[in-house]
Amino acid sequence: MHALLSFHQETALTLPEAEAREREEGYSPAPGIVVFPSNRELSIRAHGMAPATLRRHLASLVEAGLIIRRDSPNGKRFARRGQGGEIAEAFGFDLAPLIARAAEIENLAEEVRIETRTIALLREKITLVRRDIVKMIETGMEEGVRFAPLAIDGREVRDWEGLYQRFQALSARYSRSLGRTELEALAGDLAAFATEIQNLLEAHIKQQKKSANESQTERHIQNQITNITDLEPSLREGRAEPPGSIPEVPDAERARGAEAEGSGSGLGERQLSSTRTYPLGMVLQACPDIVDYGKRGEIACWRDLIDAAAIVRSALGVSPDAWKQALDVLGEHDASIVIAAILQRGEEIKSAGGYLRVLTGKAREGEFSLGPVLMALLRGKAAKAARDRKKAG
C-alpha cells in the first residue's frame, strides 16, 4: 500500500466534487485518483519485492476492498492525456476506496491501537506480578514460614517448594504469541496466586505480633508480682526466707556463670544456627549437577547431599580450611547447598575457594541468605527451558 500511494502526485488523497458526482452516477473513475505503475516500478518502490509476492499483496488489497482494479482492454496500466497534458483517462489501481472508507479505517486503526496498548499493559502487569510472587516466595523461605496444606487446582500444597512448582506451571503458560483473552486469563490466575501467598505471609506476621504481645503481657504480669519482703519490711530482718523463695545470686557469680556458659561451645567464632528450611527437592531442582556425585548417582536424603558436597568440595579445589570455616558458620546443610550452587554455576565462578570464603564472611555478618541463590538458579533454569521450547517450536 505504501508503494502504491507513493505514485500519487499529491500529498493527500482527495476526490473533487465533480468527480465524486460522476462516480455516484456511474460514470468512469476519476483519473486523478488512479495510479498506474508497472510491476517493475512497483517492485522498486516496494524495496525489491519479488513479483510473485507483489501480486499476492495486490490481490489481498483488492480483496480487502482498499483498492479497485481498473483494467484497460489489453490489461495494461497506463493513462491517456488530454490536449492540455492533464490525465483524461487512467487504467490501473483506483485509490478511491481509501477516501470513501477513511472514517472506517481510522476507527479500525484506533481499535488496533487500543488493543495493542491493552496487550502491552497486560504483559507489564504479568511481569510485575511474577516478580512480586518470586519475592514473596523468597521471603517465605527465608523466614521459615509454615502453613497448613493448601488445595490449589485440586492438588495439595504443603510447602514453599510446592508453591514454587505451581508458580512455574503458571509461568509456563506465558508466551509472546498469546492474545488479549489468554493474557487476561493468565494475569487473573497469577493475581489470585499472589493473593494466596500474600495471605500466608500476612497470617505469619499477625501470628508473630500475637506471640510478641503475649510475651510482653507475661513480662508485665511478672513485673507486677512484687516480692513479699518489699511489702512487709519486718520480714527482712530476723526471719527465715519463705519456702520456695529464690535466693539472690551475687553479681560476681552470675558473671562467672555467663563466662562458663559462653566458653562451653568450644568454637572460636560465633556459629549461626539456621532456622530456615529449604526442601531437598528444591535444592536438587536448582542444582541438579551435584546428583552425579551422589552414591550410585542419586541423592535420596540430606546425608547423601552432605557426602556429595564433600567430594565436590575437593574437586573444585576448595581448601580444607575454607571448608571448615563454612561448616562452622553455615552448618552442614547450608554449606553443602552452597557447594552445590557453586558447582551448578560452573565456569562463572573462577575461584570456588575464594568465593566460598566471601560467602562465609557475609554469613558471619548476617548478610548472606541462600534463598535468593536458589531462586536465581531456578529462574535461570526456567528461562533456559523456555528458550529451548521456543527454538523447538
Which comes out higher in pLDDT, residue 49 or 154? 49
Task: Give 6-9 contacts, CB < 8 A, sequence gap 24+.
Answer: 6/45, 7/35, 7/36, 7/37, 7/41, 7/42, 7/45, 8/33, 8/35, 8/95
Residue range 240-258, pLDDT digits in tens: 444 433 334 344 434 334 4
Contact 216, 208 (CB under 8 A): no
Q: Are residues 120 and 169 in the same domain?
A: yes
- C-alpha cell recorded at residue 80: 491517456
Q: Are residues 123 and 29 in the same domain?
A: no
Mean pLDDT of 255-267: 39
* Integer Rg of the chain from CA: 39
Structure confidence at residue 88 (pLDDT): 66
Whether the full predicted model's pTM is greater than 0.85, yes or no, is: no
**In the beta sheet, which residues pair with residue 94?**
34, 68
Same domain for 319 and 364: yes
Distance CA 323, CA 140 (A): 28
**What is the domain count for the chain?**
3
Q: Are residues 85 and 6 in the same domain?
A: yes
Identify whether residues 287 and 375 lie together within a single domain. yes
Q: How far is CA 101 from CA 28, 41, 159, 312, in A?
A: 20, 27, 60, 72
Residue 177 has pLDDT above 80, yes or no: yes
Query: Does any domain span residue 255?
Result: no
Residue at a domain's end among 100, 134, 163: 100
Structural domain includes residue 77? yes
Distance of CA 119 to the CA centre of its chain: 17
Query: 285 and 370 share a domain?
Result: yes
**Region 49-66: what's the mean pLDDT?**
86
Q: Domain ends where: 76, 100, 124?
A: 100
Nearest to 95 by CA among 56, 65, 67, 135: 67
Domain that holds residue 331: 280-392
Most confident of 135-144, 187-196, 256-265: 187-196
| Ranges 75-89, 146-160, 325-339: which has the least confidence | 75-89
Q: Is 138 part of any domain?
A: yes
Q: Tell whether 88 is covered by a domain.
A: yes
Average pLDDT over residues 172-185: 91
The Cα–Cα gap between 140 and 205 comes to: 11
Do 94 and 116 belong together in one domain?
A: no
Answer whether residue 127 is part of any domain: yes
* Mean pLDDT computed over every residue of the chain: 76
